């Protein structure tokens, strides 16, 4: 299983429009602080699946040389996680989309002009795509009613993607998430900032320890970090285009 972090930014991305902070200046200069909105590629020998389709998807697919996917899984109905799906328009028809019913109901109202193949998925019930087993599990991201994380199994290998969440993840989900080979974890800021809809780096590290993760990479980061090369000395931050293999 190959994982590519197509977009590692928060809802506004980095650089933030009009901002001159150190991270935004590094991003403008071409540094790794440049973060597009959230999307992750999962690839096996049998195909490709996108976890969420952020607004920068066209750029991400062109940069990664991707011209076809075999499915899209949506974790929740926030704009920065689905709005790029329209970039398939007149490129690829009848894309299979997967998510809980309420999430699909909401997103497909917006994407009415598309013709995706809808697949309602229940939390905690595994389904198969591209030769891999996927399971959605409940996380905590109010006011979203059913935000999901994603568990991916490839034989004995286990990938956990938290999706957008605060630290109050249900115990049933924590049990399912245990002992991942790789944890891709929401971490929007360092701990000195108080952005309550997401975990910060300290909470992400605590979750990683609770789950006994073999490796953890932080994602969904804001411009409130120091420039990437400086911040990466302290935290294990993902970056756009980062590839990982399980």
Residues 141-187 have pLDDT tens digits of 999 999 999 999 999 999 999 999 999 999 999 999 999 999 999 99
**Residue-wise pLDDT tens digits, 15-44:** 999 999 999 999 999 999 999 999 999 999
Taking the domain 2-245, which CATH number applies?
3.60.15.10
Of the candidates 85, 83, 49, 81, the one whose C-alpha atom is nearest the C-alpha of residue 68 is 49
Cα gap 236→128, rounded to integer Å: 30
Spell out the domain ranges in the chain.
2-245
**Residue-wise pLDDT tens digits, 62-100:** 999 999 999 999 999 999 999 999 999 889 999 999 999
How does residue 120 score in pLDDT terms, banded at 50, 70 and 90? very high
pLDDT of 202 reads 96
76 Cβ partners below 8 Å, 6+ apart? 103, 141, 144, 146, 147, 148, 163, 164
Under DSSP, is residue 99 helix (H, G, I), strand (E, B) or coil?
strand
User: What would the two tokens of residue 238 be?
Assistant: 């993902």
pLDDT of 196 reads 76
């Amino acid at each position: 299983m190959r994982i590519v972090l197509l977009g590692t930014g928060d809802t506004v991305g980095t650089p933030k429009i009009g901002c001159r902070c150190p991270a935004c200046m590094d991003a403008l200069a071409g540094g790794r602080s440049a973060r597009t909105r959230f999307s992750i590629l999962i690839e096996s020998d049998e195909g490709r699946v996108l976890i969420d389709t952020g607004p920068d998807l066209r750029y991400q697919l062109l940069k990664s040389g991707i011209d076809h996917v075999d499915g899209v899984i949506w974790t929740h109905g926030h704009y920065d996680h689905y709005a790029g799906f329209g970039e398939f328009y007149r490129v690829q028809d009848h894309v299979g989309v997967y998510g809980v019913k309420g999430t699909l109901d909401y997103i497909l109202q917006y994407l009415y002009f598309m013709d995706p193949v809808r697949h309602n998925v229940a939390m905690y019930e595994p389904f198969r795509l591209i030769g891999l087993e996927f399971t959605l599990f409940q996380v905590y991201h109010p006011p979203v009613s059913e935000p999901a994380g994603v568990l991916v199994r490839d034989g004995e290998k286990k990938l956990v993607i938290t999706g957008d969440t605060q630290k109050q993840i249900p115990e049933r989900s924590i049990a399912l998430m245990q002992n991942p080979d790789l944890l891709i974890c929401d971490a929007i800021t360092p701990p000195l900032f108080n952005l309550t809809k997401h975990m910060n780096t300290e909470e992400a590290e605590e979750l990683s320890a609770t789950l006994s993760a073999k490796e953890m990479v932080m994602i969904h980061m804001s411009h409130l970090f120091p420039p990437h090369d400086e911040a990466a000395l302290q935290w294990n931050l993902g970056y756009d285009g980062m590839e990982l293999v399980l």
